[in-house]
A and B are shown apart, each in its own frame.
With several copies, the nearest count.
Chain A
Amino acid sequence: MISGLLPELEVIRKDFPILERTLAGGLPLVYLDSANTSQKPQVVIDTMVDHLERHNANIARAMHQLGAEATEAFETARDKVAAFIGAPERDEVIFTKNASEGLNLVANTLSFPGEHQLGPGDEVVITEMEHHSNIVPWQLVTQRTGATLRWFGVTDEGRLDLDRIDELINERTKVVSLTWVSNMLGTINPIAEIARKAHAVGAIVVVDASQAAPQLPIDLAAMPVEERPDLLVFTGHKVVGPTGIGVLWGSRAVLDTLPPFLGGGEMIETVRMEGSTFAGIPHKFEAGTPPIAEAVGLGAAVEYLGHIGLDAIHTHERAITGYALQGLATVPGLTVLGPLDPAERGGAISFELDGVHPHDVAQVLDSRGVAVRAGHHCAKPAHARFGVQSSTRMSSYLYTTPDEIDALVEALNYTRSYFKLG
């Protein structure tokens, strides 16, 4: 018996309608691609449907009953998200369209005229294990501003190489932006330690929590302020919420000093043709009609996760990850990229299988109903670091069972035989 699994796993699985689906040939679905996107529980879908069928209206602007209901639902979702991450203030929670928009918002507003505007001589530090969404915005912005982009390397074991930290984070450093949990290597990064260093030189700390928010309990208010990120993003669709919505949390102190990003809609205070003034947070950064039904769905999603408990989910993920690492170790010619200790990593496990290209692995797995991801997982530099073009990745979540891991291992062995690897 594996300890640490969610006690009511079969009941939880019943909450996710898609898990009852069968695939081509009547095969059951073994969904091991949750780091890519998570499945949605019925309560999230039902909440959105109820909103669309009974309370749909535009928010803030509407004074009628439907408008009041929609506004209340939307703002309650903000409260729920604030609670989910322990935000010091609910108004510090900004709804974006996804994590990528949150990161781009931060990078762009740091490039516009203002207190923190980047310029030649300034340095931005990222890492080699970032998702493209935390690389490309900084490349674009440092190119436009003349600032310099630098990065932490990655060790052979898939950890951040902190040897050069004192050289990398220096008095020229204006921003340090890094992922909490790698979507490729699974590595959990020491964000507290890095934030402390970065804050000591006066840099702004941005944390990409896209992979952390689904599986680690987050309590921003409880963090010592030196170790707390200044800005943090995650994405709705990976925390059992809908697509079309993401979250940017930022401390009021920093958000208040950033200029607006997108213009229009409720982000204004007043508009004249000659010039405009802007609303306070959160509205300042929410231009146009926000993803209303999506926010409402996300509220239901984080509430659902909260009921189960992030500690319990984390323990479950660790148990499944440990079991998976053991299982994968039995497959001949299989090499895991990233840390091998489940206590040091998240639930995404990328690997290579000697002699079979990741696409071909994924294809054969798919023919057995096992859904994994193959490719660069939007982390080309991390792949390049390990000298590979692409990898196969399995990723579990709160609904994953040990049986599904067994199915994966069995299908990997079948893949080897299919490609006649003895």
Chain B
Amino acid sequence: MSAAQDLDALYQEIILDHYKNPHGKGLREPAAAQRSADVHHVNPTCGDEITLRVHVEGEPGSERVADVSYDAVGCSISQASASVLHELLVGKTIDEAMNVHGEFLALMQGKGTVEPDEEVLEDGIAFAGVAKFPARVKCALLSWMAWKDATVQARG
């Protein structure tokens, strides 16, 4: 593939759309019955940062992701990835969400050899092209790592 084609695979329209119109951006207060946890993650190499809050509700064992609110600065990939995360995980049970998380991680760390499952990842499949750019994988994973960290904390 040429460099230009690789570039287009990286910057899919879906990614650029999410970048321009991010879903769920902003930090929100959790509702009364929700538990929440905040984390702050940075990508030390480039300085991208995210403050991410997970809002969890429901009984232990069947908790749901009530919301994921966040403040972030960073490149198109890291911003779009946070937006897609919001879209994909909010409303799911934590077990389901962890499963999606696992798939996304596998896709990103697959160096371009993993075939993404659109059923599970929806818009997230647009990130398949990122996996070929090792330096950008960290950008795509910033919010996902933060989400996992926060969720573990929120669950207690």
Contacts and interface: CB of A to CB of B under 8 A. Distances in A.
A383 interface: yes
Interface in A54-93: 60-63, 67-68, 71-72
B44 A363 contact: no
Interface string B15-56: 010000000000000000000000000101111110000000
Given A269-B44, A389-B48, A363 B2 contact: no
Given A63-B135, A359-B136, A389-B74, A375 B3 contact: no
Contacts of A165: none
Given A24-B2, A68-B135, A375 B76 contact: no
Nearest to A366: B3
A199 interface: no
A368 B44 contact: no
B135 A71 contact: yes
A23 B134 CA distance: 16
A132 to B, nearest CB: 10
Interface residues of A, number: 37
A60 B10 CA distance: 20
Contacts of A419: 16
Contact of B75 (A279, A358, A383): A358
A72 B134 contact: yes
B95 interface: no
Contact of A368 (B3, B45, B74): B3
Interface in B47-84: 47-49, 73-77, 79
Nearest to A374: B46
Contact of A390 (B2, B46, B79, B135): B46
B7 A363 contact: yes
A363 B133 CA distance: 9
Interface in A93-128: none
A268 interface: yes
A366 B10 CA distance: 13
A363 B139 CA distance: 12
B3 A61 contact: no
A367 interface: yes
A362 to B, nearest CB: 9
B3 A25 contact: yes
A375 B4 contact: no
A380 interface: yes
A389 B73 CA distance: 8
Given A63-B135, A363-B10, A266 B3 contact: no
B57 to A, nearest CB: 31
Contacts of A389: 47-49, 73-74
B6 interface: yes
Interface string A347-372: 00000000001111001101111000
B6 A375 contact: no
A376 B47 contact: yes
Contacts of B42: 269-270
Contact of B4 (A25, A62, A390): A25
A283 interface: yes
A359 B46 contact: yes
A329 interface: no
A23 B6 CA distance: 13
A201 interface: no
A27 B6 CA distance: 14
A63 B136 contact: yes
A338 to B, nearest CB: 18
Contacts of B135: 62-63, 67-68, 71
B75 A268 contact: no
A337 B136 CA distance: 25
Nearest to B77: A359
A359 B75 contact: yes
B2 A359 contact: no
A268 B136 contact: no
A375 B136 contact: no
A268 B45 CA distance: 9
25 contacts: A24-B3, A62-B135, A63-B135, A67-B135, A68-B135, A71-B134, A270-B44, A270-B47, A270-B49, A357-B79, A358-B75, A359-B74, A359-B75, A360-B11, A360-B75, A360-B77, A363-B10, A366-B3, A367-B6, A369-B3, A374-B46, A375-B47, A383-B47, A390-B46, A418-B7
Interface of B: 2-4, 6-7, 10-11, 16, 42, 44-49, 73-77, 79, 133-136, 139
